[in-house]
Structure 1
Amino acid sequence: MRKIIYLVNPKSGTSKKGAVQKLIELKTAAKGIHYEIFPTTSTGIYDDLVEKIEQENITDVVMVGGDGTVNQVVKALKECNINFGIIPMGSGNGLAYCAGIPRNPLRALDIIFDGTASYIDAFLINDQFSCMLSGLGFDAQVAHDFANKSARGLLTYTQQSLFQYFKAQPYQFEIVLDNFSFYTDAFLVCIANSNQFGNYVTIAPKASLKDGLLDIVVVQKMNKARLPFAVLRQIRGNNMLETLVENVSKKNVLYFQAESLTIRNLKHAPLHVDGEPRPTEEEYQVKILPKCFKLIMPAV
């Protein structure tokens, strides 16, 4: 028998949560499924919920929020024997959209009820858990600025992106892979498990949630006027996924896969983890966590 806990982030995104909560109550009750609804915690600590899941045989935890909500909840509860679901209500919703979960709450609920739970990957960047996309440089600076704005949503994010574009300067990195390393001056380095930043902006078009590999995108130093076109080519999937990193000095965008890598952050570029700003460090050890947790996705 299914037992669902819904965790609702009252602050994520721009949408009203009251109507969505009423929809959840109505549709879940109509299915005859036992459920409870709780708010998310600002601390990301869910020790009491872990105990409740174990004692009451909870089968599913559904996150009503954005990528930051998903990160915190999965990090706290991934050792529990449960399925995770998402009703996307954030500003980006990168993991949800990559998994085929739509923004419409009613359709997302249908997937919770009728979808299939299967294991997907996550990764660690040093000791920090990430289940969709983390990055250093330009996109991280946007995340830092966005976090300080009172208004949320796509419009605010777009405004901050444009503002940062005119200010952006490349950072210096050393990328260390198995038997190979290279230096690069780059506007950003993306580490992707899901294929996108969110809002269907697919920075890593070939990324899979369950292939046991991370997609790495390095947008290297170039004339600022060429930067939007180079990024657009990457988003459209025009850049081939490389099996080996070759001709580093001749390419605007590097796109490759790895199970693990080291990033030496030589100029202290800012960091974001699943869209949330984090303090920067001088070096990052990055590694895949294959088959880390079960996510409810549309049935094939």
Structure 2
Amino acid sequence: MKDFNRVLMVVNPISGGRDKSVFIEEVEEEVRRRGLDFRLFETSGHNDKKALKDVVKTYAPQRILSVGGDGTIKLIAEVTQSENIVIGIFPAGSANGLAENLDLPADISELTKVALGGKYTQFDVILINGEFCLHISDIGLNAALIKNYHEGNIRGKLGYLIQSIPTLINSDFPFEFEIETNGKIFKRTAVLIAVANARKYGTGATINPHGKYNDGKFEILIFKEFNIPQILQTFREDVEISEDFLEIIPAVEARITSSKNIPFQIDGEYRGDVKEVRAKIASVKMKIAIP
């Protein structure tokens, strides 16, 4: 890959409830040391996609750095839709699922070296209901938790923990689903169905043990019951998940339907209650900097 000299840093100032100034200062210092050009863009929650498109068009960055959660990375991916720009990730969201799957370092100076380095991987993109998904989308219990989390006031993993009990009490699970994929139709009862391009949630839970983010397919994960011992298994490094708890169907395109509206999320962002989810592997792949 040829050298680059224009670096754009995209910062979500409110993600994860963290101060982002330390990331900005570290990167600005390193960029100056390398003699690179630098520009900062902060999201506001209002017309961010259009605003970022305008900046990308006029500035023409050759490397884009994401400081925020999965939603910030997805915003960059949707705006650029280019395999020629490498994205460097600084995980600073509430649950950094994409970073969790890439084994990025925790130290900011090491993250900066990775983000501005020459090593990268190609990441498949899933198109779900017309929207990019880089990590994991699901319909059911986890999406209900994310909905309640966003309606709460506490951010980070503690916020998810606090919302978990009321979500379990108030959710009308299990749900009835119909899955159409690979020329077949499956009828399933489940607490949630995930469409996954990666192995782990941002919490570190491994829900897709055999998933690969660059194999040209995704996995449909059917969680059949709320089983606490099996859920705890997902936090082990050497995961052993029972087939009675989880069914996995590899696919490149799928349609998931239900007779009633069910909470739905993409990459940690609640997208409403829906009756239908359509997913397929997109033609574009993203380049992401790795150690």
Name the TM-score, length of structure 2 as normaliser.
0.90
Match of 2:267 among 269, 274, 286: 274
**Which moved further from structure 2: 155-164 or 142-151?**
155-164
String of CA shifts for 1:98-151, please: whole Å, max 9, x gaps. 122234322211101224133210101121221111000010001101111222
Q: What secondary structure sits across from 1:114 in the alignment?
A: coil
| 1:187 to partner: Cα distance | 0.6
Preserved contact between residue 186 and residue 220 of structure 1 (Cα < 8 Å): yes
- Using the alignment, how far apart are the partners of 2:32 and 2:272 within structure 1? 43
Q: What secondary structure sits across from 1:204 in the alignment?
A: coil
Distance 1:47 1:94, change over 3 A: same
Q: What secondary structure sits across from 1:91 in the alignment?
A: coil
| 1:45 to partner: Cα distance | 3.7
User: Structure 1 residue 239 and structure 2 residue 241: aligned?
Assistant: yes
Distance 1:99 1:44, change over 3 A: farther
Q: Which residue of 1 aligns with 2:290?
A: 297
Name the count of aligned residue pairs: 285
Q: 2:189 is aligned with what amino acid? A: D
Q: Which residue of 2 aligns with 1:203?
A: 207
Q: 1:277 is aligned with what amino acid? A: Y
The aligned runs of 1:39-118 (5 Å cut-off) are 39-43=42-46, 45-47=48-50, 49-79=52-82, 81-118=84-121
Q: Which residue of 2 aligns with 1:192?
A: 196
| 1:22 to partner: Cα distance | 1.5
Provide the identity percentage: 26
Unaligned runs of 5+ in 1: 241-249
Unaligned runs of 5+ in 2: none
- Using the alignment, how far apart are the partners of 1:219 and 1:44 within structure 2? 36
Q: Which residue of 2 aligns with 1:245?
A: none
Match of 1:213 among 214, 217, 221: 217
Preserved contact between residue 199 and residue 210 of structure 2 (Cα < 8 Å): yes
String of CA shifts for 1:256-286, please: whole Å, max 9, x gaps. 3111111012232110011101123222221
Preserved contact between residue 71 and residue 131 of structure 1 (Cα < 8 Å): yes
Preserved contact between residue 44 and residue 76 of structure 1 (Cα < 8 Å): no
Preserved contact between residue 12 and residue 90 of structure 1 (Cα < 8 Å): yes
String of CA shifts for 1:152-204, please: whole Å, max 9, x gaps. 11111112123323444211111112232221121111111121210322211
Preserved contact between residue 174 and residue 266 of structure 1 (Cα < 8 Å): no
Q: What secondary structure sits across from 1:147 in the alignment?
A: helix
Q: What secondary structure sits across from 1:216 in the alignment?
A: strand
Q: CA RMSD in A?
A: 2.1
Q: What secondary structure sits across from 1:264 in the alignment?
A: strand
Q: Which residue of 1 aligns with 2:12?
A: 9
The aligned runs of 1:159-178 (5 Å cut-off) are 159-168=162-171, 169-178=173-182
Preserved contact between residue 83 and residue 287 of structure 2 (Cα < 8 Å): no
Q: Which residue of 1 aligns with 2:277?
A: 284
Preserved contact between residue 122 and residue 288 of structure 1 (Cα < 8 Å): yes
Q: Which residue of 1 aligns with 2:149?
A: 146
Q: Which residue of 2 aligns with 1:27?
A: 30
Q: 2:277 is aligned with what amino acid? A: Y
